[in-house]
Structure 1
């Protein structure tokens, strides 16, 4: 198929075909793995039409890239659960009218749509609609933003759903997406390097945060990245990050920081956005998550204790709230990998 010159000049992800010219039911069955769990409906006036679907997909660490194409009729798409991650949809052919609550946005030649976690969308696809879908894991984007701001992200990132691709910053980001898609079709391209060294996920996440308006844009636009922190706060933060399983009581943190409890708590609230206790838990959870993901332990309890937690059920609850899955799931996935 011919794709819009604004993004691509040929069908993307040819090396990663999942299905070609398949029945619509096959696309619906594959949606939970590659898109979002949903139901496709053919308009009543086109019930006799035969709709065919093609799908190609791959992953790069926390980023999922999908090409989908349907032909034969218009389609209504109802999501059957909330989004759990961030999803950007580009139209390569045709249009997609997206509705989220009282908001509407259109995927077309010059506009794209981004969905944030917990959104439930409805879509109307034109006949012959083709799209590139870029999915980014919620917690990976959170961690990327934390690195950019040098402070924890305490509220979910929420993007403006409508993306104007003619805006210079977004146009630059889209060119980067195009380069990645072309690189993926080269077996020895840059995208073929291992997940740890692959530069594409960081580029996509950082660029999206800077280019598309969101509830952290003001912080990012004001240049509040790696900004000033009092030396006393830096000493406390360094201790927490170097010894997450050690004695991190408020009294010890104050002793290391060289300030009173009231001053240290004020510094944490002002420059970190969390209390000292909340920051300690955040760092311990990150330490435990890294060990679980690496399979650096035989049991969840072993890793929890090693990360500074003394109550495993409370750890499991905090972990699930932070990462969206129980710690045992992360540990089992590491064994599978």
Structure 2
């Protein structure tokens, strides 16, 4: 599968483990319960912007896997053949033809992979996924998305999403398919991110379902537009209320009712998102963390760095240097 994207084929156990770890999470990998003469595996990787497909298969024995670091992305585990018993904390999910499993950021897991297990990981980068949810909600996402770990593929919406992944695999197998025509971010990435958010329960499901149930008041929309257009400005509650044409208390009440956060918190998250975009896009040597912080209204760089780390899981200097 995904033969045009093969990374290793027929590799022995150590190389198979190292290859998988380089595209997913560092882990320990060992045969389960008995010695074997030879275990080998193959890996293929297709990247589509913030979403990647990582396909792996092995043969020769059951394998025990222990993640040695927390996952820092969203990982949907699908079985193409065989099964995988995944344990995260007190919850256990058996991945097979009827059930997928989702590992969310900051989780650790152990796994038992059946012999001749063929697995597909749909890897979605955390911050791109959360930004995508923010665009759907029209508000900042203040906490990581937490999915229900077991994904019942007999559920019609989940079944459609899994079928879409299979269609993508088929499309990638054709060198002139839709994925091959994409120039920048693949339309598949946005489609699958939206589909997963709609088909699998998570801690923002209620907000996403109610997003279009009640229109936002005009004053609130004017305040939100000002924040989106000029987040670097001095956006006190008083200035936002003046732009909205309502009193500060009414504006704060509408923010809590329709947006879910206070105005100051919304401004902070928009500024952090813009700073993150600049740091990711910056070329080495063209800017500094302080430049980006001041550009988006942060007057105290250490406080900016602390808020950024809490939001994105790393210091802004790490994001800048990764570019």
TM range (shorter): over 0.9
* 8 Å contact from structure 1 (residues 62, 140) kept in 2: yes
The aligned counterpart of 2:289 is 300
Q: Deviations over 1:62-88 (max 9, x none)?
A: 111111001001111111111111111
Compared CA separation, residues 137 and 226, structure 1 to 2 (3 A): farther
Question: How far did residue 198 of structure 1 move?
Answer: 2.0
- Distance, in Å, in 1 between the alignment partners of 2:14 and 2:212 is 47
- Distance, in Å, in 2 between the alignment partners of 1:130 and 1:73 is 13
Question: How far did residue 36 of structure 1 move?
Answer: 1.7
Q: 1:140-289, aligned counterparts within 5 Å?
A: 140-194=128-182, 196-221=184-209, 223-225=210-212, 227-289=214-276
Q: Deviations over 1:184-238 (max 9, x none)?
A: 22233221345645211111110001111222223334x4248411111111111
* 8 Å contact from structure 2 (residues 140, 270) kept in 1: no
- Distance, in Å, in 1 between the alignment partners of 2:309 and 2:48 is 23
Q: TM-score if structure 2 supplies the norm length?
A: 0.94
Q: Deviations over 1:128-167 (max 9, x none)?
A: 1110110111122212222222222223221111111121
* 8 Å contact from structure 2 (residues 157, 199) kept in 1: yes
Compared CA separation, residues 195 and 23, structure 1 to 2 (3 A): same
Compared CA separation, residues 190 and 325, structure 1 to 2 (3 A): farther
Question: How far did residue 330 of structure 1 move?
Answer: 2.5
Structure 1 counterpart of 2:301, from 312, 324, 329: 312
- Distance, in Å, in 1 between the alignment partners of 2:182 and 2:276 is 20
Give the number of aligned pairs.
321
Compared CA separation, residues 91 and 197, structure 1 to 2 (3 A): closer
Question: How far did residue 267 of structure 1 move?
Answer: 1.2
Find the residue that maps to 1:124 and give its secondary structure. strand
Q: Deviations over 1:41-75 (max 9, x none)?
A: 2123x213311111111211111111100100111
Is residue 54 of structure 1 aligned with residue 42 of structure 2?
yes
- Distance, in Å, in 1 between the alignment partners of 2:180 and 2:114 is 34
* 8 Å contact from structure 1 (residues 149, 226) kept in 2: no
Where do 5+ consecutive residues of structure 2 fail to align?
A: none
Structure 1 counterpart of 2:5, from 10, 16, 29: 16
- Distance, in Å, in 2 between the alignment partners of 1:331 and 1:226 is 39
* 8 Å contact from structure 1 (residues 152, 273) kept in 2: no
Find the residue that maps to 1:118 and give its secondary structure. coil
Find the residue that maps to 2:80 and give its secondary structure. strand
Question: How far did residue 182 of structure 1 move?
Answer: 1.4
- Distance, in Å, in 2 between the alignment partners of 1:133 and 1:267 is 41
Is residue 109 of structure 1 aligned with residue 97 of structure 2?
yes
The aligned counterpart of 1:3 is none
Q: Which runs of 4+ in 1 moved over 3 A?
A: 193-197
Question: How far did residue 16 of structure 1 move?
Answer: 1.1
- Distance, in Å, in 2 between the alignment partners of 1:21 and 1:170 is 32
Where do 5+ consecutive residues of structure 1 fail to align?
A: 1-10
Find the residue that maps to 2:75 and give its secondary structure. strand
The aligned counterpart of 1:8 is none
Structure 2 counterpart of 1:329, from 301, 314, 318: 318
Question: How far did residue 247 of structure 1 move?
Answer: 2.0
The aligned counterpart of 2:112 is 124
Compared CA separation, residues 193 and 307, structure 1 to 2 (3 A): farther
